[in-house]
Amino acid sequence: MFDVTVIGGGVIGAAIARELARYRLSVVLLERKSDVAEGTTKANSAIIHAGYDAKPGSQKARTNVLGNAMFEDWCAELDVPFRRNTSLVVAFSDADLPGLADLMARGHENGVPGLSLIDEAELRRREPNIGPKARGALLAETGGICCPYELTISLATHALLNGVEIRLNTPVTGVSRENGTFICQTPQGPVVSRALVNAAGVYADTINNQLSEGTFTITARRGEYVMLDKRFGPAFKATIFQMPTPMGKGVLITPTVEDTVILGPTAEDIEDKDDVRTTAAGLEQVLRVAALSWPQIPTRHFITAFAGLRAHCDRNDFILGEAADVPGFFNAAGIESPGLTAAPAIAAELAGQVADRLNAGKKDTFNPPYLARKPFRLMSHAEREAAVAADPAYGRIICRCESVPEAEILEAIRRPLGATTLDGVKRRARAGMGRCQGGFCAPRVLELLSCELGVPQTELTKFGGASRILSGTLGEMAEPQPRAAQERTGETHA
């Protein structure tokens, strides 16, 4: 019996679990995948929105502005990268200029500070690479960027260090409420708690609709992106938006905190809530639309393409708080953009509501977050020499693209809530994030994972489940096949 179960290990679930850890409560977080940040969180635009776009009076508008104001201190406490790089909504025709004024008026109604309209000359002074059709822009000085998966890992680790139990590879197959307690059915057995928090992303409707008469529907909205090599990080300082549409904020161009550049996303409603394929049509759309903002996109320097799913709710707003007809059941559902920005506000608010429902006071102590050592790629020459002298594993570079030494990969595996997959190492140490996308370092990372975890390399995966990297050994491949197998493959010999 736990006091609280949190379903979902994305940024919202991890943030709520971490805030609940401040209270005298026993908390368990259930995540169906092999790691936290494996769903929507790992594949979004990583943008901290100012708050001018959301409908005034909505939960999106309210929590966006509150969360934006909290975000810088939040990241500083957790020692994760954050940059207030500003954002620009660009008008590409004179007819779009009144729309910028409308967005600014909405932003003022939402309480967004630092908004102003700038003319074409000022826009080009700020962003020399902006397309020739640009006529002006709305400047949002509070816009920013972060690393959502690194943030989520830090939040979940901090929760773990303060007593939260985190169960990975634990999908919730059914929920019920009996005698005032909640029962989550999982393949590992039932999990029982006094309160339940639903932060299940695209599956939040499935959880809610098993418990509450206040049903809703979540549609998975797929967005495809492409990423450019770091050499083009200086191309734009601000995040460049085009005018928003009913399907979202449109195709954008933004630098990342690691100085790559992201273009995207598309917006396509799909039925399969696990379909994160990238498509030729999606890539073509991203390039065609983004070319309005950046006509000379260096397409020869894409290093990867990826897709993520947004949890679009038929209520067109976040669903937050305790369900009216199910005491102790709390929703954090329909969390699409600006959900990342709103996360600090949502987490503090919902954790407080849960604590009030359970009459739980705050703990006398709260352990500090786990702080990794300064990355080798960011060290000065003297710092690198000192690191190698203290630990020779710093002198063995595994990932050349991102300058990741063996010492940092070992730390990624050994740390609290350490990596167990190739992608887990990538998101904690950046091995495989660079230009070659793991082409050189993946075999060595697999060797280190195998050694540290005591698992054969053939059992290791890219991201859990059936995503095994290796299908066998050369020795196994060289073994003679049974005659029946030879006949099936046409390999019999006279």
Name residue 83's beta-bridge partners.
Answer: 145
Cα dihedral 321, 323, 327, 332 sign: negative
Separation between Cα atoms, residue 263 and residue 297, nearest integer Å: 10
Rounded to a whole number of angstroms, the distance between the first and last alpha carbons of the chain is 67
Q: Specify whether the CB–CB gap between 52 and 112 falls below 8 A.
A: yes
Token pair, residue 365, equals 């102590």
Q: Which of 49, 312, 381, 493 is catalytic?
A: 49
| 461: DSSP letter | B
Residue 49 annotated in active site:
yes
- List own/partner pairs for 294-299 with CB under 8 A and 24 or more apart: 294/129, 294/130, 294/131, 294/235, 294/236, 294/240, 294/253, 295/131, 295/132, 296/129, 297/263, 298/228, 298/232
Least Cα distance to 320 among 352, 298, 296 occurs for 352
Q: Dihedrals φ, ψ of 282, to 5°?
A: -65, -45
Cβ count within 10 A of residue 42: 21
489 burial level (CB within 10 Å; 0-12, 13-18, 19+): exposed
For residue 78, the 8-state DSSP code is: H
Over the Cα atoms of the chain, what is R_g?
A: 24
Neighbours of 401 (CB within 10 A): 21
What secondary structure letter does DSSP report for 435? T
Kindly give the residue spans of alpha helices, DSSP state H, lying in 307-418: 339-357, 381-390, 406-414
List, by residue number, the catalytic residues: 49
